[in-house]
Amino acid sequence: MPATKEFTYETVGAAGKRVKGKIEASNEATAALQLKQQGIIPLSISDSSSVLQRELSIPGLSGRTTLKDLSVFSRQFATMSAAGMSLLRALGVLEEQTEASSLKKAINEVRLDVEAGMPLSAAMDKHDRVFPTLMVAMVKSGETGGFLDDALERIAMNFEKDAALRGKITIDRGRVAETNFHQYEPLRMNEMPDVEVHIVPSTDAPGGMGELCTPAIAPAVGNAIFAATGKRIRRLPFSLEKLV
């Protein structure tokens, strides 16, 4: 039997006021399912020992928007959507309970745009200093593919994992304070976590992270050229002139 943890949830009571409660479950998804079976629609579910209690800022975003804000927002949004709450109602509840002024204002404007007929992703994309590009792209993908609930769940998980990682790293005046990374044992292939790849539409020219693959790909291409032509090329970049 899997170990259980205590989760705190918040919902709207019969009097229309927000109330909190506790429930034991193996994870947040199970807790949400148990609450749904009890006829309770949670606004939020959180582990009491969660690192999200820390205020973690996101570089490049509005100064008032924190990783905690977006993580809680995403988790609440995913939970309400999975529970069958309508998009407009969920946005209304999120707007009401959000305390961060910049995020609250953005949710209000997103709700009004959605109410006017605009897709959720397009409405969020108008607030690029609040909602990250990848988040908007995943919402758009969920809308297009008809799996918005799953997209919101993945967004919430991504923010929670990011918060967990940043919660273990101390940033001092823009630099990482820890100096013991050389002591970390490298992961084996079967120990590596799952990595999700999302293609984000962009008008920018290709570049940047792609170069990291060159050390692994270049020797393989060189060997393939040698096998096909008998000519060995030992310098980059490859060119037809070197085969003549």
Report yes or no on 40 lying in a domain.
no
Q: Tell me which amino acid residue 113 is.
A: D
Domain limit, last residue, from 172, 199, 217 = 172
| pLDDT tens track for 89-106 | 989 999 988 888 889 999
Tens digit of pLDDT for each residue in 50-88? 544 444 444 434 345 777 788 888 888 888 888 888 889
Q: Is the pLDDT of residue 197 over 80?
A: no
Scanning 83-232, the segments in alpha helix (DSSP H) are 87-97, 101-115, 120-125, 133-145, 148-166, 214-229
Reported confidence tier of residue 184, pLDDT bands at 50, 70, 90: low
Q: Reduce the DSSP state of residue 244 to 3 states and report it.
A: coil
Shared domain for 218 and 131, answered yes or no, is: no
Rounded CA-CA distance 236/183 in Å is: 34
At a CB cut-off of 8 Å and minimum separation 6, what does 25 contact?
Answer: 4, 5, 7, 31, 34
User: Considering 118, 147, 172, which residue would you say is the last residue of a domain?
Assistant: 172
Q: What is the pTM of this model?
A: 0.50
Confidence of residue 234 (pLDDT cuts 50, 70, 90): confident
Provide the residue range defining the domain that includes 218: 209-243
